[in-house]
Structure 1
Amino acid sequence: MLRISQLLTCLIVLFSSNIFAQDYKAEIEKFREEYKADFLKSKFSPLKAEDFQYLRFYEPDEKFRVECQFTATKKGKPFEIPTTSGETKTYVKFGEVTFQLEGKSYTLAVYRSPDLQRIPTYQDLLFIPFKDLTNSKETYGGGRYLDLRMNQIQDDKIIIDFNKAYNPYCAFGEGFSCPIPPRENHLQVAIKAGEKNFVK
């Protein structure tokens, strides 16, 4: 039989885990509400408020919130990433993040936009476009995006939360020029987290 002290410890752990799960779900729901609100702030937005009913997301899953080892790229040079419009956009490889998922190791490249560096609001913005095995099935075929900030990197570690992965504007309509994830960011694993296909 469990001693009273052991039983209390188990109850405390279970209670704490439940509280964390609730807080985490609330965090993701807040992120998604802010994500929707951003569509209403731009005159170039592909969505209106009445389109929000067609947005779909995976249920929040803490498994896809991963701690990564960050490795900076020394003297990264500007290069061109093709876009869906046939044009290109200039980026610099800022570094790489390596993480474990279901017992396997994966690496993603992290990019920085020289153009956005000139804008104070976005000068510390980092960008991870990626593809995974859910594309063209449950998620947009052109891949999804993650945004990070430089101050999230602490002691060469950074948390990446795929529950915050979002679709490019091209997933919602035509006439946009969206960066296509480079081959080095094609993950051979199903990331069942974040935004799903737009169903309108």
Structure 2
Amino acid sequence: MKKIYLLCFLTVCISCNSQDKRALVGETEYQQKENSRFKDASKSPLDKKDLKNFKGLEFFPIDSTFIVNATFTKIVDAPIFEMATTTDRKPLYKKYGVLNFIINGKELQLTIYQSQSNLASEEYEDYLFLPFTDDTSGEDSYGGGRYMDVMISDINKDGTVALNFNNTYNPYCAYSDRYSCPLTPRKNHLDIEINAGIKVFKKH
């Protein structure tokens, strides 16, 4: 009889844990990973009070309209410059290239950047930085803009690269004043609503 009780207890515990995990499940693997990372106190950018009440990040519904193939044009001999941030920190970046693409029949362009500090890291040397604002910024999405990671290795030989705006993320400054975040350059504003990816974080 004790074994039966023990088995029932373990089943209930497993069920509770499964429900807890299901509460963080997103529509995609990307959303699931983000929610899991934000729930982990050792990795989360959330302040303690927000982490305590954290249930999951809010995303726009997945929309294939915002998965596009962009034409990449590399900027040759671009100078290194100090990028403005939310603090006095001035990290070094370089304009890496220009991306041209179409969403809902509208021709759009973004400049993509390369962090100079990433060049010293084998883990991040392949990363490019794509910050942008759009007509949802300051309302449904974070006012300071959103970011997207693009890999150099993702750029095809024909000069195209896939951009998935469903996989955008907020700078850590959207969650806490403890961080210093690059400011989105004005030229990287999209005159269109990007109703995809991460939404503005609502603090508790």
TM range (shorter): 0.7 to 0.9
Q: What is the CA deviation profile of residues 135-170 of structure 1, one whole-angstrom value per residue up to 9, with x for unaligned ones? A: 111011110000011111002000000001111101
Aligned partner of 2:135 in structure 1 is: 133
Aligned partner of 1:21 in structure 2 is: none
Quote the Cα distance in structure 2 between the aligned partners of 1:98 and 1:144: 18
Aligned partner of 1:90 in structure 2 is: 92
Matches within 5 A, 1:1-200: 29-39=28-38, 40=40, 42=42, 45-46=45-46, 50-53=52-55, 55-154=57-156, 155-200=158-203
Structure 2 letter corresponding to 1:60: I
Question: Are the equivalent residues in 1 in contact too, given 2:108–2:190 (CA < 8 A)?
Answer: yes
Structure 1 counterpart SS, 2:108: strand
Q: What is the CA deviation profile of residues 81-126 of structure 1, one whole-angstrom value per residue up to 9, with x for unaligned ones? A: 1111233221111101100011110000010111011010000101
Structure 1 counterpart SS, 2:55: helix
Aligned partner of 1:14 in structure 2 is: none
Quote the Cα distance in structure 2 between the aligned partners of 1:148 and 1:51: 32
Quote the Cα distance in structure 2 between the aligned partners of 1:120 and 1:193: 30
Distance 1:104 1:44, change over 3 A: closer
TM-score (norm. length: structure 1): 0.81
Unaligned runs of 5+ in 2: 1-24
Report the alpha carbon displacement of residue 38 of structure 1 after superposing the two structures with TM: 3.4
Report the alpha carbon displacement of residue 27 of structure 1 after superposing the two structures with TM: 9.5
Question: Are the equivalent residues in 1 in contact too, given 2:68–2:101 (CA < 8 A)?
Answer: yes
Count of residues in Structure 1 that have an aligned counterpart in Structure 2: 175
Larger proportion of helix: 1
Question: Are the equivalent residues in 2 in contact too, given 1:54–1:199 (CA < 8 A)?
Answer: no
In terms of Rg, which structure is larger?
Answer: 2
Question: Are the equivalent residues in 1 in contact too, given 2:37–2:44 (CA < 8 A)?
Answer: no
Distance 1:43 1:30, change over 3 A: closer
Quote the Cα distance in structure 1 between the aligned partners of 2:101 and 2:84: 26
Unaligned runs of 5+ in 1: 1-25
Question: Are the equivalent residues in 1 in contact too, given 2:35–2:57 (CA < 8 A)?
Answer: no
Quote the Cα distance in structure 1 between the aligned partners of 2:78 and 2:53: 40
Identity of counterpart residues, as a percentage?
Answer: 37
